[in-house]
Amino acid sequence: MISILIIGDGNVASHLYQAFLKADAVIVTKINSRNLTDIPNADVTIIAVSDDAIAEVSSKIPNSLVVHTSGSVAMNSLNNKGRKGVFYMLQTFSKNKIVDFSEVPFCLEAENEKDYILLELLANLIGKKVYAINSEQRKALHIAAVFVNNFSNHMYKIGSDICAENNVPFAILEPLIKETASKIETLSPAEAQTGPAIRKDQRTINEHLALLNKQQQEIYTTVTKSIQNGN
């Protein structure tokens, strides 16, 4: 049996703990990061805390292998005296939203091959998509994730605002959102691009700008130029 200790009380820690509870061949324990006076022994200690707390929390862990779950913090930022690694899951985690870990990419890093194989084994116990990603690659991947997740969600928010201002149900846009996301399973994002910006349809662009407030106009203009420039 492989023993796992998860430290943290946020969404990532909670979902990960529930997933490992259902896995064979592991024993999992979870403690809060504020309760580090009596730390259980474990083969792998997974720190799932805020980025700013990783260095401090890891410095208090005596266990031999300590990994964090951050997308933007380098592996060497861990301050434990033992071996280090990363167990990063590229997904958005919400408190009351069930996570299908079979669809979650696990981006792993370790100081040596033996530890990587152990982390790979753990990832495969609860998931199916495992990648060897170093700290520099993971930082770039995290930035890319901000664009495709956080920024795109903000676009949904703007779209929702525009619908609300014009008494139109946002639900009408949901099939379009799903179709746009599904396209990139068979097309590259560049190939899937449609709309007035890529067509250079300036008349429609001007009509859209006339309907928007100043902040929305700035965003619309910036994204339009980016699409037309191929950036």
What is the tens place of the pLDDT at every residue in 21-37? 999 899 999 999 877 88
- The pLDDT, as a whole number, for residue 56 is 95
Residue 55 one-letter amino acid? A
Report the 10 Å Cβ neighbour count for 228: 13
Q: What percent of the chain has pLDDT over 90?
A: 90
- The pLDDT, as a whole number, for residue 95 is 79
Domains defined along the chain, listed by start: 2-133 (3.40.50.720), 138-229 (1.10.1040.20)
Q: Order the strands of the 26-31 sheet from edge to edge.
A: 26-31, 2-7, 44-47, 65-68, 83-89, 105-110, 129-132
Q: How far is residue 225's CA from residue 231's CA, in Å, rounded to a whole number?
A: 9
User: In the predicted model, what is the mean pLDDT of residues 89-96?
Assistant: 84
Check residues 87 and 35 and name the one with the higher pLDDT.
Answer: 87
Query: At residue 215, does pLDDT exceed 80?
Result: yes
Average pLDDT of the chain?
94
**Any bridge partners for residue 26, and if so which?**
2
Run of H or E including 15: helix 11-21
The confidence band for 1, taking pLDDT boundaries of 50, 70 and 90, is: very high
User: In the predicted model, what is the mean pLDDT of residues 47-62?
Assistant: 95
Query: At residue 200, does pLDDT exceed 80?
Result: yes
Assigned token pair, 30:
């979870």
- CA–centroid distance for 129 within its chain: 14
Please give the backbone phi and psi of residue 188, each rounded to the nearest 5 degrees, phi first.
-75, 155
- CA–centroid distance for 155 within its chain: 18
3-state class of 85 per DSSP?
strand
Query: At residue 63, does pLDDT exceed 90?
Result: yes
- The pLDDT, as a whole number, for residue 93 is 82
- The pLDDT, as a whole number, for residue 174 is 96
- The pLDDT, as a whole number, for residue 37 is 87
pLDDT in tens, 2-12: 999 999 998 99
Check residues 100 and 159 and name the one with the higher pLDDT.
Answer: 159
Check residues 33 and 128 and name the one with the higher pLDDT.
Answer: 128
Query: At residue 133, does pLDDT exceed 80?
Result: yes
Query: At residue 231, does pLDDT exceed 80?
Result: no
Query: At residue 71, does pLDDT exceed 80?
Result: yes
Query: At residue 142, does pLDDT exceed 80?
Result: yes
